[in-house]
Amino acid sequence: MALDGVPWVIGGDAEHGPDVARQLLYLATGGKQGVGGPGDLKVTALDVPGAGVQVAGGGGTILNRIASQQSYGVRNPVADVDSVQVDATGSGAGRADLVICRVDNPYIDGNAQAPADPVHGPYDSFDIIPNVPAGTRSLQELDQYKGLSAIELARIDIPKSTGTVTNAMITDLRQITMPKNVSERYPGALTDYYVTMAKGQWKPFPENPITGIFVPDWATHAIITMRTAMKYISGNAYGNFRAFIGPAGAQATANLFATEQIDVTTAGGQYRQPFEAPSSSAFPIPKSMRGTTVQLTGLVTPASDASDQARIGTAAGDYYYADVTFVERIS
């Protein structure tokens, strides 16, 4: 018989095997593994740093390396401060240790040892692989561990003659299994507006911010591009534009997401040119902004070595909008 005789889920007297349940999780997560959210299973130093680390509560998905198209789901209800102990280094050299979360299933893996309690396990655990090559980020880089059903949580780079682990030694290696993201285009309202760029000053451009942008409560970063048409009026428009996201009335130095150059060097005559300010990278969203409504504001200033001031502007009826993608990432 080619098919598993009992698909998920039949009910009644049908017996649903673990293989089909593991495949369901694999399909639901797109065959990826990692943690559930940005804070899940994060490895940090103990509250009082010592010879170990703590692993935050949360959950994760781990690929079954013994059978294809199967995944395990693990859950850590509360922070674990006992499972991962770290040996001190000697005076000769430092050491890199890999902290992982692993699943050992003796029913399909002949190398896995059955737990003392077959009902309650444990069949999963936090573990440490000592003395891995410097810079190691994945078990797939280590030939002897490629077949282990586990996810990497952190690498601890311990200097020589050290028995206490601090946060500075910990490199976060977690990945989110299914990170959230949402994209939206937000229109702005252009006016017939002109600004004379003044050295040492940041002036609004365009005149009106783009408002009504709701930040999801799960968003950790934003990727933003603001677009409009700049109307060139006079002078040497050589300088900088910057835009930021934040509450109404926020200062320009807060929540900055982009700084771009303006360089229109032909003096005289009027014309329009496309104007774009993209995020150079994903902008971190502070916790205070999550779950709130914010706005995008733009400002311009001439370069310090600009030969003269310039007038630029916008025209009512031209395009003005921002493309905003909120994403969930490991902070």
Query: What is the per-residue pLDDT for 19?
Result: 92
pLDDT of 256 reads: 60
State how far Cα 257 lies from the chain centre: 16
pLDDT at position 274 is: 81
* Alpha carbon distance 275, 322 (integer Å): 12
Topology of domain 181-327, CATH? Jelly Rolls (2.60.120)
CA 295 – CA 150 distance, rounded (Å): 42
Q: Give residue limits of the domains in the chain.
A: 18-172, 181-327
CA distances to 2, 16, 17, 20, 118 from 10, in Å: 18, 8, 11, 12, 26
Distances, alpha carbon 166 to alpha carbons 48, 169, 171, 313, in Å: 9, 6, 11, 53
Mean pLDDT of the chain: 90
**Weakest mean pLDDT among 11-15, 145-149, 180-184, 308-312:** 308-312
- What does pTM read for this prediction? 0.85
For residue 275, the model assigns a pLDDT of: 81
Report the pLDDT value the prediction gives residue 242, as an integer from 0 to 100: 81
For 28-82, write each residue's pLDDT tens digit. Answer: 999 999 999 999 999 999 999 999 999 999 999 999 999 999 999 999 999 999 9
Picking from 215, 246, 241, 219, the residue whose alpha carbon sits closest to that of residue 230 is 241
d(CA 329, CA 138): 18
Which residue, among 176, 143, 147, 115, has the nearest Cα to 329 in the 3D structure?
176
Rounded-to-integer distance, Cα 326 and Cα 331, Å: 14
Spell 153-162 as b/e; 16+ CB within 10 A means b: bbbbebeeeb
Q: What is the pLDDT of residue 209?
A: 93
Does the pLDDT of residue 277 top 90, yes or no?
Answer: no
Q: Could you read off the pLDDT of 128-145 as tens digits, one per residue?
A: 999 999 999 999 999 999
Cis? peptide before 122, omega within 30° of 0? yes
Q: Rounded to whole angstroms, what are the CA distances from 26 to 2, 151, 173, 288?
A: 20, 15, 21, 35
At residue 130, φ and ψ (nearest 5 deg) are: -80, 155
Compute the CA torsion angle 143, 149, 151, 152 (nearest 10 deg): -30
